[in-house]
Amino acid sequence: MSGARKLRAGLIGLGAMGRNHARVLSNLDGVELVAVVDPAGDVTGTLRAPVVPTLGDLLAMGVDYAVVACPTALHEQIGLELAANGVCALIEKPLAQSVDAATRLVEAFESAGLVAGVGHIERYNPALQSLRTRLEAGELGEVFQVVTRRQGPFPHRIADVGVVMDLATHDIDLTAWVTGREYTSVSARTVSRSGRLHEDMVAVVGQLSDGTMVNHLVNWLSPLKERSTVVTGDKGCFVADTLTADLTFYANAAIDTEWEALRAFRGVAEGDMVRYAIPKREPLLVEHERFRDAVEGKQSDIVTLRQGLRTVQVAAGLLESASDGKTIMVSPTGLADTARSAENAVA
């Protein structure tokens, strides 16, 4: 790739995630980081690329694509301007702070025929990539349940959204992705204990299109940092730790009983435990490589804007459920209104 013209890339936002993007873009094969947009400038003075105050300044320099790492509330405004100027975009998750805003972004980039993706970085975690491959191969048999836990200290960089849009969107996307199934219903409860406008904790019960049960526990009020995905099925369970990129399989050892009254019960017993050796590349680097390839017109696996929209739709369903105390049915094209509470649905 050294002999070909390098793609000219820009970056919008120099927060914690933005600086990680700048680091990767500065060393990405086949890409030149042209400039970074941030009104506050480079307070550390460590960037190789110039920092400009406005998006207009970046566009005037000419870029093939831009990475949007500014606050979620600005994603729509920035994204629409990029689309209007024919610039491809990798937009940090969540795609937008509302379903309507996310929909407008999808329509803008699709109508312009531009490559655009969403930075759902967990899809590039080695443990989850291996997990998805093994589920596709049927190594777990029928999948019964997906349980995720994502908790840790409060990220002071977040001010415009709550824990549902900031963190739970990770779990929504990765669950649908590793299983290959869509959400059909969600029920959630939230609490706020930090004095902020938005929620700090959420507990979720959901269902996927094949009947798989889903549970998410997400908060940013815990001194314990945890990133766990547990998938339980007919043959055992997989446990993915995305902090360490480790994947472990706990086999279900078949148990027999001579007690006639218990023969109908499908019991389980502890079997072998296998911890897989997985090549561990940095997920953010892999994400950038995939997006670069897509911009170059190569076949590449990126998170599309429509997939990002779907995640925002499910997240909006969680917030609606927590607000109204109802189970929300999620249709393939968006959130369907429901007047039924969980109790009414059971009845």
Count other Cβ atoms within 10 Å, centred on residue 253: 12
98 CB-contact burial (10 Å; exposed 0-12 / middle 13-18 / buried 19+): middle
DSSP β-ladder status, 143-151 and 226-233: antiparallel
Q: How confident is the model at residue 197 (pLDDT cuts 50, 70, 90)?
A: confident
Q: What is the pLDDT of residue 256?
A: 56
Distance (Å, rounded) from C-alpha 117 to C-alpha 115? 7
Q: What is the pLDDT of residue 257?
A: 53
Interior angle at CA 93, CA 282 and CA 38, nearest 5: 90
- On the question of pLDDT at 47 being above 60, the answer is yes
Q: What is the pLDDT of residue 43?
A: 80
Q: How confident is the model at residue 336 (pLDDT cuts 50, 70, 90)?
A: very low
- For residue 336, the 8-state DSSP code is P
Task: Kindly state the percentage of the chain with pLDDT values over 90.
Answer: 80
Q: What is the pLDDT of residue 154?
A: 80
Residues 313-332 have a mean pLDDT of 94
Q: What is the pLDDT of residue 330?
A: 92
Q: Return the higher-pLDDT residue of 55 and 40.
A: 55
Q: What is the pLDDT of residue 341?
A: 32
Q: What is the pLDDT of residue 198?
A: 87
Q: How confident is the model at residue 3 (pLDDT cuts 50, 70, 90)?
A: low
Distance (Å, rounded) from C-alpha 235 to C-alpha 91? 38
Digit-coded pLDDT (tens) for 241-289: 999 999 999 999 865 555 555 555 556 777 889 999 999 999 999 999 9
Q: What is the pLDDT of residue 7?
A: 98
Q: What is the pLDDT of residue 344?
A: 33
- For residue 29, the 8-state DSSP code is T
- On the question of pLDDT at 189 being above 80, the answer is yes
- On the question of pLDDT at 339 being above 50, the answer is no
Q: What is the pLDDT of residue 161?
A: 84
Interior angle at CA 251, CA 248 and CA 253, nearest 5: 160
Mean pLDDT of the chain, nearest integer = 90
Q: Residue 274 corresponds to which tokens in the numbers above?
A: 């296998």
Residues 76-97 have a mean pLDDT of 98
Digit-coded pLDDT (tens) for 117-166: 999 999 999 999 999 999 999 999 999 999 999 999 887 666 678 999 99
pTM greater than the 0.85 cutoff: yes
- On the question of pLDDT at 340 being above 60, the answer is no
142 CB-contact burial (10 Å; exposed 0-12 / middle 13-18 / buried 19+): exposed
Q: Residue 78 corresponds to which tokens in the numbers above?
A: 């920035």
Q: What is the pLDDT of residue 253?
A: 82
Lowest mean pLDDT among 43-57, 79-93, 204-218, 244-258: 244-258
Q: Could you tell me if 93 and 169 are in contact, meaning their C-beta atoms sit under 8 angstroms apart?
A: yes
Length of the chain: 347
